[in-house]
Copies of this chain bind each other. A is one copy, B any other.
Amino acid sequence: MALRVGIIGGGQLARMMIAPAVELGVDVRVLAEQDGMSAGLAASAVGDYRDLDTVLRFARDVDVVTFDHEHVPQDVLRGLVDAGVQVHPGPDALAVAQDKLRMRAALADLGMPQPDWAGVADAAALDDFIAAHGGRAVVKTPRGGYDGKGVRVVDSASDAADWLDALEPGGQLLAEELVDFTRELAQQVARRPSGDLVVYPVVETVQRDGVCAEAIAPAPHAAGRLADVAGDIGEAIAVGLGVTGMLAVELFETSDERLLVNELAMRPHNSGHWTQDGAITSQFEQHLRAVLDLPLGDTALRAPWAVMVNILGGPETDSLSDRLPAALHAHPSAKVHTYGKDPRPGRKVGHVNVAGDELDAVCYEARAAAAFFLD
């Protein structure tokens, strides 16, 4: 009997689990939001993930339920667990990923290094926070943000007046210190329900307009102490929050060389796409192994360097396939991954991975190949 994993959500993360699932002999089934999504090949159902009956029906034929995104409501997650369904990551862990205020509080409880932060319920509280932090702050809506959405840099509460006005009674925004960072890093770990855990090499990520644009593995100039600390942070969070499956910890490296936790994601993450062609075990295979409570795979790099460059937006008029011939001709060592999504400004529609011996050459190949898919 094949192992069966049900994935809620039909986006590119679910899509990229299909390849390792087929090879490992895992039967993946996807509950897609609609027809024609990225993971359509494995879509065994189309329906609303906010509806418990729909999700329970989908879960009936699988051994474990996992996720393409973190938006499944807590009542649905609890309903699954109450019905005896294996859910990884579980509701308690996901609750932390779903709410940034809760995340900050949980990280504080774990003693993790993070930016100064506060929950602010009104303009006075936000202005106090801004005044106490040099006249600027980052304000975030606790729920629903991604890829830079729901995040603003402000120097006055009036810059967030619309969000403050929209708060429900008892609601708060998250105010954070604007960190003076020199670069962003990401640490991935995988953890099984039975407790085993593996750590990936820490990577450097380059964000543009709040969206991940590139990842370089391993992070340059991070050997030794910095990589160890990043790995320790990842492990402490995974264990402390009881994360099962893949966990990505986005980190700031500050100008005074501290690491501060920026965001968490409890699933395969854009910062780990390089693992498909640069690590012995890709994050997508690892996530499947982890949620099935199978032994975890080797996280070592396959080559000294691996670089991932996102295809953001894509060509305005062509499809990605129209651009494949020229890109593949110019870059025979580039691995092009497409998501089956229509190009749209700012949308992630694919990425390119390159692995090799020389960082400069690897970066060039990946960036130049990705550029073929942009206007």
Contacts and interface: CB of A to CB of B under 8 A. Distances in A.
B329 A295 contact: yes
A302 B23 CA distance: 19
Interface residues of A, number: 43
Given A18-B19, A23-B335, A296-B332, 7 more contacts: A3-B324, A15-B22, A41-B41, A294-B325, A294-B328, A295-B329, A302-B355
Interface stretch (A116-124, A147-155, A336-344): A336-344
Contacts of A339: 25
Interface string A36-70: 00000110000000000000000000000000000
Contacts of A302: 302-303, 355
Interface in A328-366: 328-329, 332-333, 335-340, 350, 355
A297 to B, nearest CB: 5
A16 interface: yes
A24 B320 CA distance: 10
Given A19-B19, A41-B41, A340-B2, A25 B320 contact: yes
Contacts of A20: 19
A321 interface: yes
Contact of A19 (B23, B321, B336): B23
A158 interface: no
A187 interface: no
A3 B321 contact: yes
Closest CB pairs A-B (n = 4): A25-B338, A19-B19, A295-B329, A295-B328
Contacts of A355: 280, 302
A22 B41 contact: yes
A1 interface: yes
Interface string A300-311: 101100000000
A319 interface: yes
Contact of A297 (B42, B295, B332): B332
Contacts of A289: 328
A298 interface: yes
A340 B4 CA distance: 13
A64 to B, nearest CB: 13
Contacts of A298: 332-333
Contacts of A338: 23-25
Contacts of A295: 325, 328-329, 332
Interface in A129-177: none
7 contacts: A24-B324, A24-B337, A41-B41, A280-B335, A296-B328, A297-B328, A302-B302
Contacts of A332: 281, 295-298
Nearest to A321: B3
Contact of A42 (B3, B24, B41, B280): B41
Contacts of A325: 294-295
A276 interface: yes
Interface string A262-297: 000000000000001000110000000100001111
A341 to B, nearest CB: 10
B294 A350 contact: no
A358 to B, nearest CB: 14
Contacts of A300: 333
